[in-house]
A = this chain, B = another copy of it.
Amino acid sequence: MDNKINIGLVEDQFLFREGMKAILSSYDEFEVVFESEDGFSVMDKLASCTNMPDVLLVDLSLPKMGDSDFDGIAVTDAVVENYPDIKILILSVHDDDAFIAELIERGAHGYLIKDSDPNEVTEAIKAVYSKGSYINHRTLLAIQKKMNQKHKTSTKKSQDEALTKREIDVLRLVCQQKTTGEIAEELFISTKTVDGHRNNLLQKTHSRNVAGLVLYALKKGLIEVS
């Protein structure tokens, strides 16, 4: 009787979570044994869990802006580190190459966008459970693209450069409507340095101004509205 696949849901939107549960419970082979509405509680709940999930469906855009940095990425890192047997299936609204590849590299076993067909979700769950991973065409392309970038850094055309830690710091503050001067103060650096970082950001993200930067940050899940 225990050949059911135990599933854990990590998703903040209540209705989406319930809908997912409703879909999954129409299949005999699945059982939802674990739920969490934010990144924080996942590790706690896993520690005190008697019926461990085999597969964890993780929503990537978990945190509210400014709350903390325990988002889908952090959850993935922590689970990969502490529960290597649990398969992680990322569920995200972001259909972005660099992002998909990043998650896979960090140890996720599959990546699905939220526009996917329910059938694909159930397929993916079965695949990560039995085969250990689920890589669809979309994901494969993203991974290959990243691989190619790693090798030919000489190619000037590979524009989707990753942002550096400091650039991300500046980006977050720019999105908080801070001026260059304020950002410099907050990071204990010169305004000219902030200027440099912002200019690099504009180039790397192909933006024309801060509006573009904010949209980029949102698209990448670096910040959240509401």
**Which residues of A are in contact with B by a Cβ distance under 8 Å?**
13-16, 18-20, 22-23, 26, 65, 91, 93-95, 114-118, 121, 174-177, 179, 207-215, 218-219, 225-226
Contacts and interface: CB of A to CB of B under 8 A. Distances in A.
Please give the count of copies of this chain that the complex contains: 2
A176 B211 contact: yes
A95 B13 contact: no
A107 to B, nearest CB: 23
Nearest to A37: B115
Contact of A114 (B15, B20, B23, B215): B15
Contacts of A209: 177, 179, 210
Contact of A115 (B14, B91, B93, B215): B14
Nearest to A221: B225
Contact of A211 (B13, B115, B177, B208): B177
A117 B225 contact: no
Given A15-B115, A94-B226, 8 more contacts: A14-B117, A18-B19, A18-B118, A22-B26, A175-B211, A176-B211, A177-B208, A177-B209
Interface centre among A16, A22, A23, A212 (most CB of B within 10 A): A22
A14 B175 contact: no
A35 B73 CA distance: 33
Contacts of A218: 218, 225
A58 to B, nearest CB: 14
